[in-house]
Structure 1
Amino acid sequence: MRIGELSRRTGVPVPTIKYYVREGLLPPGELSSPNQARYDETHERRLRLIRALLDVGGLKVAAIAEVLQAVDDPARPVHKVLGAAADRLGPQHDTDDEELSEALVTVRELIERRGWRVHADNPAAADLAHALAALDRLGHGTFTELLDTYAEAAEQVARADLDYVDRRVAVEDLVENVVIGTVLGEAVLSALRRLAHVDRSARRFGKREGNASADA
């Protein structure tokens, strides 16, 4: 296909496609004449991945280039490629702060207790430690008592996520699913949690107050 058709099929403007080619994010098309290049389904798939990393994941061009480098490395295991994408989706923290030391120990103990095959320096571990440290500062340090319950629920969600991701074959499709699933999947999970809170609250406290309506 010509670049115009590629643009129509992906919704990416032609100047943007050319920019991605110049930045090395998208392979150049195969020259069919001095001024014409042809593109195929691999370019369409790569464009879809770039847009997912950019629009959904919020990654900068440099971070996208790092993820794509991992995708194109045939020696890198698939779970390492998926990790390279997932690691860049979370907030960046400085984990050297002293107030985080206790929270980091708690997180490492959780990882060991659950038998998770996760390195203690994983960015998500730092995110969790920051959240726990914030809870402690707000006087809710006992929230750590719920960690294993949350971890068990997270394991079920992770299994469902990977069952969905595993339907796709191409590594680029897998990475795209991870990006979309991580960002939008968390939004879905958060909304479901809030709905469940309303239901549990109505069932637990509604009866005490004599409310007939579950929506009270």
Structure 2
Amino acid sequence: MRISELSQRTGVPVPTIKYYLREGLLAPGTATARNQAEYGDEHVQRLRLIRVLLDIGGLSIATVRKVLDAIADERLPLHDLLGVAHHALGPRPVHPENDDDVRAARAEVDEFLAGLGWRVRPDAPARHALADALVALRRVGWRVDARALVPYAEAADRLARCELEGIPADASRADTVRSVVIGTVVYEAVLVALRRLAEEHHSAEKFAPRRPAEDRRPGHQGACG
């Protein structure tokens, strides 16, 4: 297909595709003439992945390039690839490392994760994110410790297991990589969105004036049961 058809199939404007080509995010097509090239399904898949990382993941072009380079490195184990995606997504630490409150919170988070039995890298950005959250809560007067995170950890554990078990064992490396990376980015956004919607619902149940009863449809059971 020509670049115009590639644009139509992916919804990405031609100038943007050319920009990705110049930046090395997208491999060149097969040259058919001086200023023309043919593109294949691999370009369609790559473009869609790039848009997920940029639009849903909110990553920079430079960070997307790092993730794509990791995906292209077939010597990199899948678990390490997931680590690359997590580091790309961040978030970066909010508080300075030499802050006494931060050091105490990080030690508490390390102990909490060890108690869960989770195998997590010492430099995982999410470790620092949890510590930053504890510090922030305490500085606004909330008396909380890592034990308050148990319900979140239990829910996250079930969701993460469900997401990874959903990847077929016989899937190709390319399909597995796309599933892992896209799942990490997209389902994180899904989780945040659903939590906010659920919070709004329960806020309405608790604080909003009561309205006449409405018909309720049976709840839909998701893929995780």
**1:47 is aligned to 2:53:** no
Segments of 5+ residues of structure 2 without an aligned counterpart are 215-225
Conservation of the 8 A alpha-carbon contact between 1:45 and 1:173: no
After TM superposition, the structure 1 = structure 2 runs for residues 159-178 of structure 1, keeping only pairs within 5 Å, are 159-164=161-166, 166=167, 169=172, 170=175, 171-178=177-184
**1:179 is aligned to 2:181:** no
Q: 1:123 aligns with which of 109, 125, 145?
A: 125
Conservation of the 8 A alpha-carbon contact between 1:3 and 1:39: yes
**1:18 is aligned to 2:22:** no
Distance 1:194 1:84, change over 3 A: farther
Shift of 1:173: 4.1
Distance 1:212 1:13, change over 3 A: closer
1:194, 1:212 → 2: CA distance? 16
Q: Which structure has the higher relative contact order (CA within 8 Å, separation 6+)?
A: 1
SS in structure 2 at match of 1:175: helix
Conservation of the 8 A alpha-carbon contact between 1:86 and 1:182: no
SS in structure 2 at match of 1:141: coil
After TM superposition, the structure 1 = structure 2 runs for residues 20-169 of structure 1, keeping only pairs within 5 Å, are 20-93=20-93, 94-98=95-99, 99-164=101-166, 166=167, 169=172
Conservation of the 8 A alpha-carbon contact between 1:67 and 1:85: yes
Moved beyond 4 Å, runs of 4+: 196-199, 211-215
Shift of 1:178: 1.8
Deviation by residue 1:159-214 (Cα, 9 ceiling, x = unmatched) = 223234x1575123431222111223322233235435665x58xxxxxxxx9989
Conservation of the 8 A alpha-carbon contact between 2:163 and 2:183: no
TM norm structure 1: 0.84
Shift of 1:82: 2.3
Please identify, of 28-37 and 59-68, the stretch whose mean Cα deviation from structure 2 is larger.
28-37
TM norm structure 2: 0.81
2:53, 2:41 → 1: CA distance? 18
The one-letter code matched in structure 2 to 1:185 is L
The one-letter code matched in structure 2 to 1:188 is L
Conservation of the 8 A alpha-carbon contact between 1:135 and 1:143: no
Segments of 5+ residues of structure 1 without an aligned counterpart are 203-210
State the Cα RMSD in Å.
Answer: 2.6
Conservation of the 8 A alpha-carbon contact between 1:95 and 1:126: no
1:177, 1:42 → 2: CA distance? 19
1:214, 1:54 → 2: CA distance? 42
- Give the % identical residues: 42
Deviation by residue 1:91-141 (Cα, 9 ceiling, x = unmatched) = 211551312011101110011101101023210010000000111112223
How many residue pairs get matched?
206
The structure in which a higher percent of residues are helix is: 1
